[in-house]
Structure 1
Amino acid sequence: MLVPFLHIQYIHTYIHLPLFHQRDNPNPNLRGRNEEIYCSKIEMKKPIASSASLSSSSSLLSHASSYFLRNIERLVRERCRSEEHLSMEDALYLFDKLTAAKHPIPDVSTYNILFTSVTRKNNPPTTSSSSSNFFPTIFSLLNKLNRSGTSPDTVTYAIFIDFCGRSNNVHLAFAVFACMLRRGWSPTIIILTSLLRGLCVKKSYSAAAQLLDKMPQLGFVPDVVSYTTVIKGHCESGNMDLAIDVLRKMHAEPNVFTYNTVINARCRQGNMTSASELFEEMVSMGIQPDVVTYTSIIRGHLVIGCWKEASRIFKEMVGRGLAPNAVTFNTLMDYLCKQGKTIEAHNLLYLMVKRGEKPDKITYNVLLHGYCLEGRFEKVDELLSSMSREGLRPDVRSYNALIDGYCKNEKVDQAMDVFKKMRQEGVQPDTFTYNILLDGLCKIGKLEEAEDLFRQMVTQGLSPNVVTYTTLIDGLCKIRKVEEAEGLFCQMVTQGLSPDIITYNTLIDGLCKIRKVEEAKGLFCQMVTQGLSPNIVTYTTLIDGLCKIKKVEEAEDLFRQMVTQGLSPDIITYTTLIDGLCKIEKVVEANDLFCQMATQGLSPNIITYNTLIDGLCKIGKVEETEDLLCRMVTQGLSPNIISYNTLISGLLKLGKWEATSRLLEEMKDQGIELNVVTFNTIIDALCKEGMVEKGYKLLDVMIQRGLEPNVVTYTTLMDGYCLIQETSKAFKVFELMLSRGHNPDTVTYNILINGLFKEGLLDAFDELFLSVKKDCYSSDSVMLNAIVKGLLENGEVNRALGSLSEMNKRKFILGAFTASSIVDLLSKDGHRHHYMKMLPNFSQHCAKSNGINIDSSISSSIHKISG
């Protein structure tokens, strides 16, 4: 009696071990199966006759084990075939239950079902199993399977090889392949095709092509899937000639997927002639185009902007009985939205629903982005409500569309509100989200907020990419914080990111803007060393930088180098160099370059013409501009306000008032309104000829016409009054300027200071200088030179020497007229030695300041006197 009883207890224990307990079951969804399996334990508790033999007990144990295994295998199959998410934790739990069964052992097909489910549903790995430990875990299961007594078969290896290939780990795929061969298993066409796919995912397209060629040597004839896999790889790499070559040479009948692959690639390139030929070819072979084929053709026509042809293809598809799917509608809607026709796109949504096609998130995201770009934010709430009714929750792309729309409409504050809302809704921003916001903040000059957001991005565990860094570098360069931009550039490289051509161009432009052209040239060389080829933007930016610092010959050399490199200068490049040549009065060379443009098939634009007109006017050759104006009109271009302002300036410098009057009449006839620059130019000419009152009357005319004078207008008039020693009237203009809300600049103050000194109004100067300090203006080099010179000329030597000490302290350049006044002081005044003691560093300062604008004879005189 005792032995059978003990045996029953053993059976009970054996069956009980693999049962699902709430306390150790990681997935409560599995609990529903506990009771069904547990019933075997209850049945086994029935009393067994005391006369039962040990053999009958063994038979009973075997029956119970088989029953338990069947239940476990059924559970695995049901769980894996369901649409519920099977996490790695669930998979490990089920795997352990399978390996616990020893008599009999589970069939390998059950393991294969489990492996298929977990690899497909966790590729790429989910958050429950991070990518860092996912691969070691999944491969540990394969090792445990080998030890459990169940041998992997070719299907098992095929699952792992396919998984590794799809997840961009083709090296692991080949390692599994090698292991399979060592264990005596022969490859299959499916396994070799998985390896082909893995190589293509890794972008090792040439290796994939080589493997395809070697397949016959391994005893396998590539099938249509193998060929299509390699064809797709060539298409993705842009090697369409190789893709078509494989299509022509394949030893298997191509199917609709094969043709869809090459047609789609051609359409994305906008090569509709080739795409149409391939379409006709597939039809002639009896392969019927499907909705994917037609959608690709539609997309191709939209890529080249042929809406009419795309619409025709859409109607043809419907006429052939093919129902357009969500992708088809989304493609059409996306094009319309990008063309600013979001209402028409929305009408397509209604058609889509009417035809029974359910809109997806992409549909709504396309419309959201369209309305946002058009600034029609009132439609956004309507769309979001529609999404909610359809059971669709806005995802990161939905929020990105909203944020991008707000930023492009310069509504960055609203974009930040959406950003906060998405986080509150549990939608995690991605790198693209941050990049959009950073760009928006940088464009409105909010660099501090952008830098804070950048730090937040890093804190959230997101890795900034090249676009992120380039956006911030551009923002910093635009506000002249180029040193900080350079620091960010170095940080980017330290992080292992390779700056692209846009990054280099941005920083080169920033350096050129602050006249650090030598550093920009160094960056240019670094870019070439890194294997990046300078483009037309790079060369044009550097040419512009060189022209700005008057190194035009070097700019011309760079222009020639650009052409030698096979790059064709565009209209901007030519105009930049023409401007550089005109600025140094090399107008003949500029004109030659202008004529060269025509030989290159380039037509000058209005900016090019205005640049050359300005160059001719600056050297007094206004009459030669008539030919340019005629050529401009012949080309179909009309002179604009800049053209006329340039000509007026040139004529007035020559004192040609009658010609100027005719030009003003012509402007009136052409319907071109005078602007502030026009008035400023005429007022300046009047002031220079002593007709300041007429200039002042023009100020009244400006205001009557609704044109607001700027600081230049007021400063020009002040200068005019000071030149005729009517400083009191200059101060009235100054007061008028302040009353109209314009802040004076250092030029304004310098003019008034000079005017006061000329009239010997020292008390008024003291009052003005206090005003300068009160307004927190830092006296610049020009102002201090004027003050020193004016004080000396008015006998205020001690005060002048005090200002001169400040100049030395601030390392300001000593002007020639200021130096001349000092020479007069030291030459004539009887207190020469007393004053020299007050200038202990003066001679030293002059000796070491090579950049000081002092005539050599004056400099020599100073040294002689100071000696």
Structure 2
Amino acid sequence: MWARGRRFCSGGGVGEGGWGELLQPFGLEQLSRSLNRVTPDRLCKLLELPLDAGTSVELFRWARTQPGYAHSAAAYHAVVDKLGRAGDFNAVSALLAESAAEGVVLKEPLFIVLMKWLGRRGLPGRAARVLDEMQPRFKCRPTFRSYNVAMDILASAGCHAAVPPLFFRMVNDGAKATTFTFAVVIRALCCSVRVDSACALLREMARHGCVPDAVIYRTLVRALSRGGGAARAVRLLEEMMLMGWDPDAETFTDAVRGLCESGEIRAAGRLVDRMLARGCAPTAATYGALLRGLCRAGMVDEAGALLARAVPAPTAAQFNAVVQGYAAQGRLREAERLVREGMAAGGCRPDAFTFNILIHGLCRAGRLGSAWARLREMPRPDVVTYTIMVQALCRRARWEEAGEVVEEMRTRGLSLNATGWNVVVAGLCKAGRAGDAVEVVRRMKPARPDIVTFNSLIHGLCEAGRVEEATGLARSLLAEGVAANAVTYKIMIRSLLRRGRWREALTWAEEMAGRGWGLDAAACNGLMRALCMGGDVDRALAVLERMVGAGGAAPNPASYNILMAGLCRAGRVHAAVELLGEMLRRGSAPDVVSYNTVVGGLCRAGRMTEAKGLVERLHVEGPLRPDAVTYNTLVSWHCKAGEVREAVAVLETAVGRGVCPSARTWRVLLSNIVGDDS
């Protein structure tokens, strides 16, 4: 290369074929014939030329063949940078292995460059693993620079959970954390919804000799505001200003939004005033958050006044927030006046959202004619507009008009999406027209029915008594390209239980548990009731244990009452008494039905003394008190045993405790007394 250059310069021109030779691509053959020796520094300069990765590696390997030549750490850095840019990380691994064999001590910047290229290629885990090899393989101790790069790559790739462990490893390795380190870790913690840990780490910064910067404060204020910690966010905002950092409009807006979402509207207003006093102009997003907060709090008139007097150049979105507030309160006249007069005065035109808000409000108020008139005023009604109208018509069972709306959509080149069709299917099923709903699902185009559609249809078929058809549909969902979810199973279980088909319901429940879904308390109670009625109390007890165990629904007093009644009917009173005690130990408060169930079981088993003892304990210990049913049970069973005097004593006790006997109590007692006299 250099020889070629000398010939060009010395000859004063280019001879025959000279330009062609000069313009030939760079080749190692010419370089090897050159009289100039390639040193590591010259090799680095050559590698900076726009050579492809393959040629760069060839050049790197050729240089090693020179007598007395040894690669430098800088040469390895240059070739690794070139290969990393090309994404050839296998070649990088091979070269790094050669460096270790040659005894070349690589420098930290090489590994930082390698990690950055790995991160850009979407390999954050591999980038972080570079840290693991630096010290043991290459005798290069990573400093805070390497750790910072690795943590930033992980956080930027969304691997937030991997960042804090790497930070603690860095601290344990003795690397000094910087403000940037804390910024990356705090961001990762906030993204992992570990805001308390992020705030705790903020307080640790001083111990490491670091001062929080504006980026850290902004990150925490945003995370706290979005996570329901608006008051803490405002305190941190105050601290940020005391530390000499000026919050930008976006940070103020995050705090204002958080206060509004937590109902602290007055505090949000004061914060906007503070923002203005510091010379930070509120943005459209700031005023939008405040307006929506006022409307959610029912302060729509205040929102309207703010929009009219304080908001500079209000946008359509800000008007829409107030229009939505009026519509939610049913104040449609004020909403329409704001659209007609307020938006015109503000130089703002109503958009599709504005019309959709008004149309939805009119439909909720039953003013479908006015809603149609508004729709006709729209330059281009969209799918949302028509879906609102279809939903309103379906709720009023005006099916023919709903069909006309769908047909009009087709003429405009629009079609209902899955949400819109689901409204139609659910409406038909609710009206008892499951057959029509089936036909609608078959004709859905271009939208495809989703699991919500099929669940509505399965529920409608079950309600119409077409359980076999519903079962077939539920079993064939995979063929339709849809996977059944927990709602599908619950619909089938409840429907089967209502029809006394508890064995089939139990099959569905077991299959549901196998998929990792838990039944709700109502379905579990229905299963246990059916099993107890069928005499399979042990299986019902197993359902209870499943509820208490792996992620099932928490059993309620009714769950235990069903089982205790089943045990008593099966003559297993002792087990019912034990279950009552287990109920207390598990922190589920028994109700009076629980005690009455056990009292009845004890009486049926002839254990009257224990039953009366339980009633006395209930009366003394509280907080429940025996009721008329409790004393009716005791009176009835005493009479059945021929113990009329004891029955009268129980009645006197009940009256003395303020419990009024029912007509059944008197009837049972009198019939036995008359029987004794005769």
When normalised by structure 2's length, the TM-score is 0.50
CA RMSD in angstroms comes to: 6.5
Structure 1 residues 521, 380: CA separation in 2 closer, same or farther (over 3 Å shift)? farther
SS of the aligned residue for 1:604 comes to coil
Structure 1 residues 181, 556: CA separation in 2 closer, same or farther (over 3 Å shift)? same
Are the equivalent residues in 1 in contact too, given 2:151–2:185 (CA < 8 A)?
Answer: no
1:524-571 CA deviation, whole Å, 9 max, x = no partner? 444455xx4344x468844641333423210213444666xx638775
1:106-158 CA deviation, whole Å, 9 max, x = no partner? xxxxxxxxxxxxxxxxxxxxxxxxxxxxxxxxxxxxxxxxxxxxx9999xxxx
Aligned amino acid, residue 282 of structure 2: K
Which residue is equivalent to 1:275? 198
State the distance in 1 between where 2:86 and 2:561 align. 65
Choose the corresponding residue for 1:572, options 539, 555, 573: 555
SS of the aligned residue for 1:582 comes to helix
* Aligned residue-pair number: 482
- Aligned positions of 1:236-385 closer than 5 A: 236=160, 238=161, 242-244=165-167, 248=171, 256=179, 258-267=181-190, 271=194, 274-298=197-221, 309-325=232-248, 328-329=251-252, 331-333=254-256, 335-337=258-260, 339-341=262-264, 345=268, 348=271, 351-352=274-275, 356-361=280-285, 364=288, 368=292, 371-372=295-296
- After TM superposition, the structure 1 stretch with the greater mean CA deviation from structure 2, 211-220 or 315-324, is 211-220
Structure 1 residues 329, 595: CA separation in 2 closer, same or farther (over 3 Å shift)? farther
Aligned amino acid, residue 203 of structure 2: E
Choose the corresponding residue for 1:603, options 587, 591, 596: 587
Which residue is equivalent to 1:817? none
Are the equivalent residues in 2 in contact too, given 1:193–1:229 (CA < 8 A)?
Answer: yes
State the distance in 1 between where 2:313 and 2:239 align. 33
Are the equivalent residues in 1 in contact too, given 2:119–2:153 (CA < 8 A)?
Answer: yes
1:414 pairs with 2:364 = yes
Structure 1 residues 235, 226: CA separation in 2 closer, same or farther (over 3 Å shift)? closer
State the distance in 1 between where 2:326 and 2:440 align. 23
Q: How big is the shift at 1:316?
A: 1.7
SS of the aligned residue for 1:393 comes to helix
Which residue is equivalent to 1:545? 527
Are the equivalent residues in 1 in contact too, given 2:128–2:150 (CA < 8 A)?
Answer: no
Which residue is equivalent to 2:574? 588
1:519 pairs with 2:519 = no
Q: How big is the shift at 1:364?
A: 3.1
Structure 1 residues 662, 555: CA separation in 2 closer, same or farther (over 3 Å shift)? same
State the distance in 1 between where 2:544 and 2:669 align. 43
Q: How big is the shift at 1:576?
A: 0.8
Structure 1 residues 307, 234: CA separation in 2 closer, same or farther (over 3 Å shift)? closer
Which structure 2 residue ranges, 5 or more long, are not aligned?
Answer: 1-49, 54-83, 93-109, 331-356, 388-416, 640-646, 672-678
Identical positions, percent = 18
Are the equivalent residues in 1 in contact too, given 2:636–2:669 (CA < 8 A)?
Answer: no
SS of the aligned residue for 1:275 comes to helix
1:344-374 CA deviation, whole Å, 9 max, x = no partner? 55655555556534244487368637844x6
SS of the aligned residue for 1:572 comes to coil
1:625 pairs with 2:607 = no
Quick one: higher RCO (CA 8 Å, sep 6+), 1 or 2?
2
State the distance in 2 between where 1:423 and 1:583 align. 64
Are the equivalent residues in 2 in contact too, given 1:272–1:301 (CA < 8 A)?
Answer: yes
Aligned amino acid, residue 591 of structure 2: Y
Are the equivalent residues in 1 in contact too, given 2:458–2:470 (CA < 8 A)?
Answer: yes
Q: How big is the shift at 1:615?
A: 0.7
1:614-635 CA deviation, whole Å, 9 max, x = no partner? 31354456632342354442xx
Which residue is equivalent to 2:152? 228
- Aligned positions of 1:33-52 closer than 5 A: none
State the distance in 1 between where 2:234 and 2:425 align. 39
When normalised by structure 1's length, the TM-score is 0.41
Are the equivalent residues in 2 in contact too, given 1:539–1:559 (CA < 8 A)?
Answer: no
Are the equivalent residues in 2 in contact too, given 1:504–1:523 (CA < 8 A)?
Answer: yes
1:283-331 CA deviation, whole Å, 9 max, x = no partner? 4445443445335545666788666544433322232233445554555
Are the equivalent residues in 2 in contact too, given 1:333–1:367 (CA < 8 A)?
Answer: no
Which residue is equivalent to 1:557? 542
Structure 1 residues 598, 484: CA separation in 2 closer, same or farther (over 3 Å shift)? same
Which residue is equivalent to 2:595? 613
Which structure 1 residue ranges, 5 or more long, are not aligned?
Answer: 1-150, 155-173, 669-677, 692-867
State the distance in 2 between where 1:596 and 1:234 align. 46
Are the equivalent residues in 1 in contact too, given 2:259–2:267 (CA < 8 A)?
Answer: yes
Which residue is equivalent to 1:792? none
Q: How big is the shift at 1:611?
A: 3.4
Q: How big is the shift at 1:276?
A: 3.6
SS of the aligned residue for 2:364 comes to helix
Q: How big is the shift at 1:191?
A: 9.1
State the distance in 1 between where 2:326 and 2:438 align. 18
State the distance in 2 between where 1:308 and 1:435 align. 38
Which residue is equivalent to 2:349? none
SS of the aligned residue for 1:588 comes to helix
Are the equivalent residues in 2 in contact too, given 1:512–1:520 (CA < 8 A)?
Answer: yes
Are the equivalent residues in 2 in contact too, given 1:508–1:541 (CA < 8 A)?
Answer: yes
Aligned amino acid, residue 518 of structure 1: R
SS of the aligned residue for 2:596 comes to helix
- Aligned positions of 1:185-204 closer than 5 A: 193=116, 196=119, 199=122
State the distance in 2 between where 1:404 and 1:367 align. 14
State the distance in 2 between where 1:523 and 1:612 align. 29
Q: How big is the shift at 1:228?
A: 1.1
